[in-house]
Amino acid sequence: MGLCVLAIYVISGFFYWVAIRVIYPYQLDYGEGILLWQAQHASHLSTAYASIHHYPYIVFHYPPLYQIISLATSILTGDLLIAGRLVSAISCFGISVTLAWVVYCTAPKSASRSTAVGGAALAASSPFGLITMMFWTPLMRVDMLGLFFTFTGLSVFILARTAAQRYCAFALFVAAMYTRQSLIAGAVACLLVAGIMNLRETIKMFAFTALLGGTVMGVLSFATHGEIIKHLFLYNVNRFSIGSCISMFSFNLLLVAPIAPLAAVAAASPVRDAARLLSRRNAGRLRARLSSNPYRIALFTFTAYFILSGVVSLAAGKSGASLNYFLELDLAACALASLLTARRVWWHRPKRAKSKAGFSNALPMLFIGFQALTVSALVYFNYVTRDMRVQGARNSAALVRRLSSSPDPVMSEDMTLLYKAGKQLPFEPAIVTELAAVHIWDETPLVDMIRSQRFSVMILGSDPDWLHRYSPAVMHSILENYQPTETYAEFSDSFTVYVPSSRASSIKVR
């Protein structure tokens, strides 16, 4: 009962935090703006995945599933930005439900109904102690929806009783890949496990997945005249830094420090089983072990997923990457930690509380207690920042009015402002800078537009924060031909209004 009460507190507190941020009408994160533009144009794929060598210079760097769903959801919300965030929030809740579902269904028959529910409650609340989940769930970003498809696919695969159910799991993995193209770890993990269980059936499932994914890509390629392949793969080639990769990986490891040891302990047994399989080349014994109960196959599958998602997360060394590259790895760690801790719930015996197993019995309460403390901090943060949100919204509204009254074209680094003002997005700074750096795109036309002062107003992140998003040529063109006039502090950042030098006035800070 205590676990369930704490789980309800954790989940309700987390989604209170999420709701406050979802309804904030302006930018929470730099990446929301480009997703907002993509969702606006998702119903016309040939326009969305257009050539980047013609104005506007925009890369549609994700598959279109999240954007299409967000656009459909906006019919209900009346606001595309809030719709996209709502899709992410609902997806997060769905991930929580799938984790609870797996843990509940893998509980042994000897476990009582109350301990099975307690283990499921523990699993349901486990993602909400993650820093990455806290800050990505309320955003208009593709990650949560893609991970929802992935975790639903993993859950269906683990609990499948028929071949048709396993094929459904791989259909969900294809949906995940068409939400974010890097979400391949779940499908590969299940193929590895399926290969141990039945190699012939695995080949069929791989063929089905490849055929389904290839058919969808063929349709999208036809609809976009082949441009989608360039946008998804060629234009996603960013510079890579091993130093940045190590630094970000280490930082994320610090953030998940309370969960990582539990995940490592849970993964130890499946890793040992896999090592024995490789050394002895006897799959029959491992197959029998996995078939003996659903808990073992869940543990083995999530261990494979944990390792593979760790490999995929190394892409965080790309220029412009952020902590969302570790969402998959962190959630896999949550799944393993939940499975391990749920066993302590199932085996709990009050009379053993003072024995050597006392700490083991206390582990579930310590685990969920960490989530409760984290959520309490979130609720407090919402409380102390309410005035900042109000003032940030006022300043953003002032910037929207400035953009609305300015002749086209205009530019804003906070791209959500362009949506609110009904203006065209001319380019996405970070992406075109990367394309210019790796010589895939010629930035000369953009530089010429700036030098000729074509933009009637440019809203940029306050100096020096915005400088890293622009190439030297673009940056110098802005500084030589535009001057700042006023600065506004938004909720998530500060922005300065730049106008052509011939019309600049003295700077005014607000």
DSSP for 2-69 reads HHHHHHHHHHHHHHHHHHHHHT--S-SSTTHHHHHHHHHHTT-HHHHT--TTSSSB----S-SHHHHH
Domain boundary among 349, 367, 384: 384
Q: What is the pLDDT of residue 507?
A: 45
55 shares its domain with 121? yes
Alpha carbon distances (Å) from 317 to 59, 146, 245, 322:
20, 21, 4, 9
Long-range CB contacts for residues 400-408, cutoff 8 Å, separation at least 24:
402/457, 402/459, 402/497, 403/457, 403/459, 406/456, 406/457, 407/456, 408/456
- Ranges of the chain whose pLDDT falls below 50: 352-356, 358-359, 506-507, 509-510
Helix (H, G, I), strand (E, B) or coil at 140: coil
Same domain, 210 and 326: yes
> Strand pairing partners for 499?
483
This prediction has a pTM of: 0.92
Q: Are residues 306 and 436 in the same domain?
A: no
CB-based contact 418:52 (threshold 8 Å): no
Domain final position from 353, 384, 415: 384
Based on the domain organization, do 407 and 373 belong to the same domain? Answer: no
Q: Let me know: does 145 contact 357? Beta carbons within 8 Å.
A: no
Both tokens of residue 481?
């031909």
Asked which of 384, 415, 448 is the last residue of a domain, the reply is 384
Residue with structure tokens 């965030």? 85
Domain of residue 163 covers 2-384
What's the rounded Cα separation, in Å, for the pair 492 and 18?
15
pLDDT at residue number 509:
45
* Three-state SS at 153: helix
Q: Can you give the pLDDT at residue 237?
A: 80
- Tell me what pLDDT residue 78 has: 92
Determine contact, residues 91/148, Cβ cutoff 8 Å: yes
Task: Output the pLDDT for position 375.
Answer: 86
pLDDT of residue 378: 84
Length of the chain: 510
Count of H helices and E strands in the chain? 23, 5
Reference 180, options 149, 157, 206, 154; nearest CA is 149
Number of domains in the chain: 2
Cα 267 to Cα 262, 264, 301, 333, 351: the distances in Å are 9, 5, 10, 9, 29
Identify whether residues 375 and 393 lie together within a single domain: no
Strand order in the sheet with 411-412: 411-412, 458-461, 494-500, 482-489, 508-509
Same domain, yes or no: 376 and 442: no
Residues 253, 379, single domain; the answer is yes
